[in-house]
Amino acid sequence: MRREGSALHGLGVVTLKELADHFTSARVIVLQMLVVLIAVATIYVATEQIKDTTAEDQFLFLKLFTTSREPLPSFVAFLSFLVPLIAIGLGFDAVNGEHNRRTLSRILAQPIYRDALLFGKFLAGVYTLAISLIVLWLLVIGLGLIRLGIPPNTEEMARALIFLLVSIAYAGVWLALALLFSIIFRSAATAALVTLGLWLFLSLIWPTLAPLVAVSLAPTTDEETLILAAQYLSRLSPGTMFGEVVLAILNPSTRSLGPIYLSQLQGAVMGAPLPLTESLMIAWPQIVGLIAGSILLFVVGYVVFQRQEVRA
């Protein structure tokens, strides 16, 4: 059955309204301040460490993102932990909040489809995250310039830019997940707890659990198969995928994200950096995986939302 009119009619209005809500909400401001504080701290520590230890490096500037010094982890590690938190903070009450405020039926009685409402909410979340991450990225680059005193070269900038885009995709996965749970659970608290629980499980427990699961499931004792199986399983966690992409992009000497066979090392110059396109090729499946993951989660949420009854 065909419906009349565009499904996306009113999308812009919904997106702008949600965006305004995000940027004026105390929740988002607190989360962003937290991120900025952490960014400043980690970059300060990283630059100290770089000054102390590194003599010469073709990609000195990229080390800004990945260098850590006890007790603080690197900027990238912090980001992979905090981005989900912000995304969940933006999304966990997106739809059930409308239910609980009893605004949903009033909004849907206006000449728009549900599609526009849900997609608008998702887009507003992605824009908010993108704006925050871009600002953060510029802040880090700026701090790095001041503290290190050397400008990044073109390839470093290109790699840093890819890193930024991948961070946004990574945030999108968590946003779509939070949005999905905000559709499924009528209570915002339940949705938040379930999403946070899943986040903790996938980020902290799953990476260590995956090898055990692989051993118990795989009908083989072949070491190689088990390692590969464990790696595939661990990639169910967006955090793992993000970590792998970051490794390949920000560390140009990364040659493979899986096990490396001796035959592959023949003729290789150890420690020599790969060109950008090669690094991108290595990380490509993971990048696509992150984007596909957010689309998939959004579609599941979309289907559930379309079938949901409006009345509470």
Partner 1 sequence: MSGNVIEAQNLTKRYDGATVVKGVSFAVEQGEIFGLLGPNGAGKTTTILMLLGLSDISDGTARVLGHDPEREPLAVKRRVGYLPDQVGFYDNLSAADNLRYIGRLIGLEAEEREDKIAASLAHVGLAEVADHRVHTFSRGMRQRLGLAEILLKDAEIAILDEPTSGLDPHATLELLDIIRDLKHKRGVTVLLSSHLLDRVQSVCDRVALFSAGNIVLLGTVAELGRQVLGGGFNVEVEAIGTGLAERLRTIPGVGKVEAAGPNRVRLLADRDVRSEAAAAVVAAGGKLLRLSVEEPSLEAIYTNYFHIAAHQDGGRYAA
Asked if 119 touches partner 1 (CB under 8 A), the answer is no
Stretch that binds partner 1, among 78-86, 100-108, 189-197, 203-211 (CB under 8 A): 100-108
Provide the mask over 162-201, with x wherever binding to partner 1 is found by CB under 8 A and - wherever it is not. Answer: ----------------------------------------
Q: How many residues bind partner 1 (CB under 8 A)?
A: 27
Residue in the block written with tokens 């809500």: 21
State whether the Cα torsion 311-97-85-64 is positive or negative: positive
Task: DSSP letter for 112, please.
Answer: -
Whole-number minimum distance, CB 18 to partner 1, in Å?
A: 10
Using the rule CB under 8 A, which residue among 52, 55, 111, 150 binds partner 1?
A: 111
Stretch that binds partner 1, among 8-16, 33-41, 168-176, 188-196 (CB under 8 A): 8-16
Whole-number minimum distance, CB 113 to partner 1, in Å?
A: 7
Asked if 21 touches partner 1 (CB under 8 A), the answer is yes
Whole-number minimum distance, CB 6 to partner 1, in Å?
A: 9
Taking the C-alpha atoms of residue 198 and residue 201, their distance in angstroms, rounded to an integer, is: 5
Asked if 267 touches partner 1 (CB under 8 A), the answer is no
CB nearer to partner 1: pick between 51 and 101: 101
Asked if 110 touches partner 1 (CB under 8 A), the answer is yes
Cβ contacts of 235 within 8 Å, gap of 6 or more? 241, 244, 286, 289
Q: At what angle do helices 154-184 and 114-148 cross, to 10 degrees?
A: 150
* Helix, strand, coil fractions of the chain, as percent rounded to 5: 75, 0, 25
Taking the C-alpha atoms of residue 195 and residue 141, their distance in angstroms, rounded to an integer, is: 32
Angle at 288 between CA 283 and CA 291, to 5 degrees: 130
